[in-house]
Amino acid sequence: MQSADQIWASIKASLFEKGCLNEVQLRSGASEGELVELEAQLGVPLPDLLRQLLKIHDGQDGAGFLFGSQMLSATEILRKWQGWREIEADGMNEHCAEFMASSPGGVVKPMYTNARWIPLTHDGGGNHMGLDFDPDIGGAEGQMIAFGADEDTKYLLASTFAEFAEKAVAWIRHARWDGENLESPTDDGFAPPAILRTAGGA
Protein backbone atom coordinates (compact mmCIF):
# COMPACT_ATOMS: atom_id res chain seq x y z
CA MET A 1 0.00 0.00 0.00
CA GLN A 2 1.28 3.43 -0.93
CA SER A 3 1.80 6.07 1.75
CA ALA A 4 -0.17 9.33 1.79
CA ASP A 5 2.91 11.18 0.52
CA GLN A 6 3.26 8.76 -2.39
CA ILE A 7 -0.43 8.97 -3.26
CA TRP A 8 -0.43 12.76 -3.33
CA ALA A 9 2.81 12.79 -5.34
CA SER A 10 1.22 10.50 -7.95
CA ILE A 11 -1.99 12.52 -8.09
CA LYS A 12 -0.22 15.87 -8.40
CA ALA A 13 2.18 14.55 -11.04
CA SER A 14 -0.79 13.37 -13.14
CA LEU A 15 -2.69 16.63 -12.68
CA PHE A 16 0.40 18.68 -13.56
CA GLU A 17 0.97 16.58 -16.70
CA LYS A 18 -2.64 17.21 -17.78
CA GLY A 19 -2.30 20.94 -17.10
CA CYS A 20 -4.97 21.13 -14.40
CA LEU A 21 -3.10 21.04 -11.09
CA ASN A 22 -3.91 24.68 -10.37
CA GLU A 23 -7.53 24.24 -11.44
CA VAL A 24 -8.31 21.63 -8.76
CA GLN A 25 -7.18 24.10 -6.05
CA LEU A 26 -5.84 21.74 -3.41
CA ARG A 27 -6.12 23.14 0.10
CA SER A 28 -3.39 23.21 2.75
CA GLY A 29 -3.40 20.38 5.26
CA ALA A 30 -5.76 19.89 8.19
CA SER A 31 -4.35 19.94 11.71
CA GLU A 32 -4.40 16.98 14.07
CA GLY A 33 -6.80 18.93 16.27
CA GLU A 34 -9.24 19.43 13.40
CA LEU A 35 -9.22 15.70 12.63
CA VAL A 36 -9.68 14.74 16.29
CA GLU A 37 -12.66 17.09 16.50
CA LEU A 38 -14.10 15.68 13.27
CA GLU A 39 -13.87 12.12 14.58
CA ALA A 40 -15.46 13.17 17.86
CA GLN A 41 -18.40 14.77 16.03
CA LEU A 42 -18.85 11.82 13.66
CA GLY A 43 -18.43 9.22 16.39
CA VAL A 44 -16.12 7.05 14.28
CA PRO A 45 -12.34 6.82 13.79
CA LEU A 46 -11.21 7.71 10.28
CA PRO A 47 -8.85 5.33 8.46
CA ASP A 48 -5.25 6.29 9.13
CA LEU A 49 -4.53 6.69 5.41
CA LEU A 50 -7.39 9.18 5.05
CA ARG A 51 -6.16 11.11 8.09
CA GLN A 52 -2.67 11.34 6.59
CA LEU A 53 -4.04 12.45 3.22
CA LEU A 54 -6.10 15.20 4.86
CA LYS A 55 -3.06 16.37 6.83
CA ILE A 56 -1.26 17.01 3.55
CA HIS A 57 -4.20 18.48 1.59
CA ASP A 58 -7.48 19.16 3.36
CA GLY A 59 -9.70 18.65 0.34
CA GLN A 60 -10.00 21.11 -2.53
CA ASP A 61 -11.90 24.14 -3.80
CA GLY A 62 -11.71 23.68 -7.58
CA ALA A 63 -12.57 21.16 -10.30
CA GLY A 64 -13.29 17.71 -8.86
CA PHE A 65 -10.48 15.21 -9.35
CA LEU A 66 -12.00 12.15 -7.63
CA PHE A 67 -13.98 10.51 -10.41
CA GLY A 68 -15.34 13.94 -11.31
CA SER A 69 -16.33 14.81 -7.74
CA GLN A 70 -14.69 17.20 -5.29
CA MET A 71 -12.71 15.91 -2.32
CA LEU A 72 -14.25 17.34 0.85
CA SER A 73 -12.27 19.10 3.56
CA ALA A 74 -12.64 18.08 7.20
CA THR A 75 -15.01 21.01 7.73
CA GLU A 76 -17.11 20.08 4.70
CA ILE A 77 -17.22 16.39 5.66
CA LEU A 78 -18.84 17.40 8.94
CA ARG A 79 -21.15 19.95 7.32
CA LYS A 80 -22.43 17.47 4.72
CA TRP A 81 -22.83 14.77 7.38
CA GLN A 82 -24.82 17.14 9.58
CA GLY A 83 -27.02 18.03 6.62
CA TRP A 84 -27.89 14.38 6.20
CA ARG A 85 -28.78 14.11 9.89
CA GLU A 86 -31.36 16.85 9.36
CA ILE A 87 -32.77 14.90 6.42
CA GLU A 88 -32.84 11.76 8.54
CA ALA A 89 -34.75 13.59 11.28
CA ASP A 90 -37.38 14.56 8.70
CA GLY A 91 -38.23 10.87 8.25
CA MET A 92 -36.72 10.31 4.80
CA ASN A 93 -35.61 6.76 5.64
CA GLU A 94 -39.21 5.79 6.27
CA HIS A 95 -40.56 7.73 3.27
CA CYS A 96 -38.05 6.24 0.81
CA ALA A 97 -37.61 2.71 2.18
CA GLU A 98 -39.41 0.93 -0.67
CA PHE A 99 -37.13 2.50 -3.31
CA MET A 100 -33.78 1.70 -1.69
CA ALA A 101 -31.47 -1.12 -2.85
CA SER A 102 -27.88 -2.31 -2.58
CA SER A 103 -25.45 -3.44 -5.28
CA PRO A 104 -24.45 -6.13 -4.70
CA GLY A 105 -27.39 -7.13 -2.55
CA GLY A 106 -26.84 -7.53 1.17
CA VAL A 107 -23.63 -5.45 1.24
CA VAL A 108 -24.93 -1.92 1.89
CA LYS A 109 -28.02 -1.37 4.03
CA PRO A 110 -30.87 -0.24 1.71
CA MET A 111 -31.50 3.08 3.44
CA TYR A 112 -31.80 6.66 2.20
CA THR A 113 -29.29 7.88 4.77
CA ASN A 114 -27.34 6.48 7.71
CA ALA A 115 -25.47 8.32 10.48
CA ARG A 116 -22.52 5.97 9.99
CA TRP A 117 -22.10 6.83 6.30
CA ILE A 118 -19.36 9.46 6.10
CA PRO A 119 -19.27 11.60 2.93
CA LEU A 120 -15.77 12.17 1.54
CA THR A 121 -16.67 13.63 -1.87
CA HIS A 122 -19.55 15.53 -3.44
CA ASP A 123 -20.70 16.06 -7.01
CA GLY A 124 -22.59 19.31 -6.50
CA GLY A 125 -25.92 17.48 -6.67
CA GLY A 126 -26.15 15.90 -3.24
CA ASN A 127 -24.34 12.65 -4.05
CA HIS A 128 -21.26 11.28 -2.34
CA MET A 129 -18.62 8.61 -2.17
CA GLY A 130 -17.83 7.80 1.41
CA LEU A 131 -17.13 5.43 4.23
CA ASP A 132 -19.71 2.95 5.50
CA PHE A 133 -19.31 2.03 9.16
CA ASP A 134 -22.69 0.25 9.35
CA PRO A 135 -22.64 -2.33 6.53
CA ASP A 136 -25.27 -4.94 5.79
CA ILE A 137 -24.62 -8.59 6.60
CA GLY A 138 -22.49 -9.18 3.50
CA GLY A 139 -20.45 -6.00 3.79
CA ALA A 140 -17.40 -4.93 5.76
CA GLU A 141 -17.06 -2.01 8.18
CA GLY A 142 -15.08 0.78 6.56
CA GLN A 143 -16.05 -0.13 2.99
CA MET A 144 -16.45 2.68 0.44
CA ILE A 145 -19.91 3.23 -1.03
CA ALA A 146 -21.87 5.62 -3.25
CA PHE A 147 -24.89 7.27 -1.64
CA GLY A 148 -26.89 10.46 -1.90
CA ALA A 149 -29.96 12.23 -3.20
CA ASP A 150 -29.97 10.46 -6.58
CA GLU A 151 -28.50 7.14 -5.41
CA ASP A 152 -31.50 4.92 -4.71
CA THR A 153 -29.16 1.97 -5.23
CA LYS A 154 -26.23 2.16 -2.84
CA TYR A 155 -23.16 0.83 -4.65
CA LEU A 156 -20.13 -0.81 -3.11
CA LEU A 157 -17.10 0.99 -4.57
CA ALA A 158 -14.20 -0.64 -2.70
CA SER A 159 -13.76 -2.96 0.25
CA THR A 160 -11.45 -0.48 2.01
CA PHE A 161 -10.48 3.17 1.77
CA ALA A 162 -6.96 2.12 0.73
CA GLU A 163 -8.37 0.20 -2.23
CA PHE A 164 -10.50 3.21 -3.17
CA ALA A 165 -7.43 5.47 -3.05
CA GLU A 166 -5.49 3.07 -5.28
CA LYS A 167 -8.29 3.10 -7.86
CA ALA A 168 -8.53 6.89 -7.65
CA VAL A 169 -4.83 7.24 -8.49
CA ALA A 170 -5.30 4.95 -11.50
CA TRP A 171 -8.42 6.81 -12.68
CA ILE A 172 -6.69 10.18 -12.46
CA ARG A 173 -3.67 8.83 -14.34
CA HIS A 174 -5.85 7.80 -17.32
CA ALA A 175 -8.35 10.68 -17.20
CA ARG A 176 -8.39 13.55 -19.67
CA TRP A 177 -8.73 17.25 -18.90
CA ASP A 178 -11.17 18.98 -21.26
CA GLY A 179 -10.48 22.49 -19.98
CA GLU A 180 -13.16 22.33 -17.29
CA ASN A 181 -13.42 18.75 -16.03
CA LEU A 182 -11.49 15.52 -15.70
CA GLU A 183 -13.14 12.68 -17.61
CA SER A 184 -12.16 9.06 -18.12
CA PRO A 185 -12.37 7.51 -21.60
CA THR A 186 -13.58 4.27 -19.96
CA ASP A 187 -16.63 5.82 -18.27
CA ASP A 188 -20.00 5.70 -19.99
CA GLY A 189 -21.93 8.31 -18.03
CA PHE A 190 -23.51 5.82 -15.67
CA ALA A 191 -22.64 5.60 -11.98
CA PRO A 192 -20.45 4.35 -10.51
CA PRO A 193 -17.34 4.96 -12.66
CA ALA A 194 -16.24 1.86 -14.56
CA ILE A 195 -13.07 1.32 -12.53
CA LEU A 196 -15.16 1.09 -9.34
CA ARG A 197 -17.78 -1.35 -10.62
CA THR A 198 -15.66 -4.45 -10.12
CA ALA A 199 -16.08 -4.12 -6.33
CA GLY A 200 -19.80 -4.74 -6.58
CA GLY A 201 -20.04 -6.66 -9.81
CA ALA A 202 -22.16 -3.85 -11.26
Task: Provide the pLDDT confidence category of residue 202 given band limits of 50, 70 and 90.
Answer: very low
Dihedral angle over CA of 87, 92, 93, 99, nearest 10: -130
| Chain segment 116-138, per-residue pLDDT in tens | 999 999 999 999 999 999 999 99
Average model confidence (pLDDT) for the chain?
A: 93
C-beta atoms surrounding 200 within 10 Å: 22
Q: How confident is the model at residue 201 (pLDDT cuts 50, 70, 90)?
A: very low
Q: Contact 154/117 with Cβ under 8 angstroms?
A: no
Domains located in the chain, CATH noted? 4-184 (3.40.1580.10)
- State pTM to two decimals: 0.94
CA distances from 76 to 73, 99, 118 (A): 5, 28, 11
For residue range 24-64, list pLDDT tens digits in order. Answer: 999 999 999 999 999 999 999 999 999 999 999 999 999 99
Q: What are phi and psi of 80, to 5 degrees?
A: -65, -45
> Is residue 16's pLDDT more than 70?
yes
- Per-position DSSP letters for 58-104, written without gaps between them: --BSSS--BTTBEEPPHHHHHHHHHHHHHHHHTTHHHHHGGG-EEES
